[in-house]
Structure 1
Amino acid sequence: MIGYYNYTVILTYMSLISSIMGMFFAAGFGGVSSHPDYAIICLMVSGLCDMFDGKVARTKKDRTESEKKFGIQIDSLCDAVCFGVLPSVIGYSIGMRDWVDLPILVLFPLCAIIRLAYFNVAEEDRQKKTSENRKVYEGLPVTSVALILPLLYSFHKDIGDWFPEVYGGALLVIAIAFITRFKVKKPSMRTMLCFIGVGVGELIWMLYKTRTR
Structure 2
Amino acid sequence: MIGYYNYTVILTYLSLISSVVGMFFAAGYSGMRPHPEYAIICLMVSGLCDMFDGKVARTKKDRTESEKKFGIQIDSLCDAICFGVLPAVIGYSIGMRDWCDLPILVMFPLCAVIRLAYFNVAEEERQKKTTENRKVYEGLPVTSVALILPLLYSFHRDIGKDWFPEVYGGALFVIALAFITRFKVKKPSMKTMLCFIGIGVLELIWMLYKTKTR
Q: Normalization by structure 2: what TM-score?
A: 0.97
1:2 Cα deviation from its structure 2 partner:
0.3
In the alignment, the residues of structure 2 paired with residue 96 and residue 18 of structure 1 have an alpha-carbon distance, to the nearest angstrom, of 22
Aligned to 2:119: 119
Computed over aligned residues only, the root mean square deviation of the Cα atoms, in angstroms, reads: 1.1
Give the aligned partner of residue 201 of structure 1.
202
Alignment correspondent of 1:152: 152
Distance 1:6 1:211 in 2: 40
Q: Is the 8 A contact 1:16 1:78 kept in 2?
A: yes
Structure 2 gaps of 5+ residues are none
Q: How does 1:168-183 map to 2 (within 5 A)?
A: 168-183=169-184
Report the equivalent of 1:93.
93
Aligned to 2:69: 69
Give structure 1 stretches of 5+ with no counterpart: none
Task: Identify if the C-alpha distance between structure 1 residues 116 and 47 changes in structure 2 by more than 3 Å, giving closer, same or farther.
Answer: same
d(CA) in 2 for partners of 1:87 and 1:116? Answer: 16
Q: Deviations over 1:49-91 (max 9, x none)?
A: 1011111111111111101110110000000000000000000
Aligned length: 213
* Cα displacement (A) at 1:203: 2.4
2:141 pairs with 1:141: yes
1:164-209, Cα deviation, whole Å (9 max, x unpaired): 0000000000000000001111112221111111112222333444
* Aligned-pair CA distance for 1:135: 1.1
CA–CA distance in 1 between the matches of 2:192 and 2:17? 27
Deviations 1:95-141 (A, max 9, x none): 00000000000000000000000000000000000111111110000
Q: For 1:174 and 1:55, how far apart are their aligned partners in 2?
A: 26
Query: Secondary structure of the equivalent of 1:184?
Result: strand
Deviates more, 1:200-209 or 1:33-42: 200-209
Going from structure 1 to structure 2, the CA distance change for 1:64 and 1:119 (only over 3 Å counts) comes to: same
Runs (4 or more) in structure 1 with deviation over 6 Å come to none
1:5 aligns with 2:2: no
Q: Which shifted more, 182-191 or 88-97?
A: 182-191
Correspondence 1:24 to 2:24: yes
Q: Secondary structure at the match of 1:181?
A: coil
AA at the equivalent of 2:206? W
2:186 paired residue number: 185
Q: Give the structure 2 partner of residue 79 of structure 1.
A: 79
Equivalents in 2 of 1:171, 1:24: separation in Å?
A: 20
SS of the residue corresponding to residue 101 of structure 1 reads: helix
Query: Quick one: distance in 1 between partners of 2:74 and 2:189?
Result: 24
